[in-house]
Amino acid sequence: MFAPQFTLFELQSRQNVSLSDFRGMPVMLTFWVSWCPDCQRDMPNKVQFYQSLDKNTLAFLTVNVTGREHSPESGPQFVYDHQLPFPVLIDQGRELYDAFGCTGVPTTIILDKNHEIAYQFGDKASFYDILQALSSVLNQ
């Protein structure tokens, strides 16, 4: 199944980012909200991974699900407070979250280079399992 196309505002660059910007490249998307304990536990792993990532081999994007936040400012404030280094897209409401069929946060989705959904992990997935799946996609 192909991923839904999207264009969302990216918080730090203040530019719109589209899935088509990463044509021919695998993509890892993580949907999150600031109040979620599992998301908060997941962030240090994602930061460390992003900092060691070859940005030419994988597009690493996170999506703040504004429609699940307590207020629209909560996600951006979390990004600034924690100095998150990676791209943070803003899903106004839950549009992209719903389009991917997400049911909880964090949800991590791995797309292959054709942007077909290769793996989808829910809130209780281990980061190790996500990395194993990612490795198989990158080695295709």
> Distance between CA 87 and CA 102 in Å, rounded?
20
Choose among 110, 108, 106: nearest CA to 123. 106
Q: What is the pLDDT of residue 122?
A: 95
Q: What is the pLDDT of residue 131?
A: 97
pLDDT in tens, 67-84: 999 999 999 999 999 999
Q: What is the pLDDT of residue 12?
A: 92
Numbers of helices and strands, H then E, in the chain: 4, 7
Q: Domains of the chain, with CATH numbers?
A: 42-120 (3.40.30.10)
Render 15-35 in DSSP notation, one character per residue: EEEEGGGGTTS-EEEEEE-TT
pLDDT tier, 50 (very low <50, low <70, confident <90, very high otherwise): very high
Q: What is the pLDDT of residue 99?
A: 98
pLDDT in tens, 81-137: 999 999 999 999 999 999 999 999 999 999 999 999 999 999 999 999 999 999 999
Q: What is the mean pLDDT of residues 42-57?
A: 96
Enter the DSSP assignment of 4. Answer: P
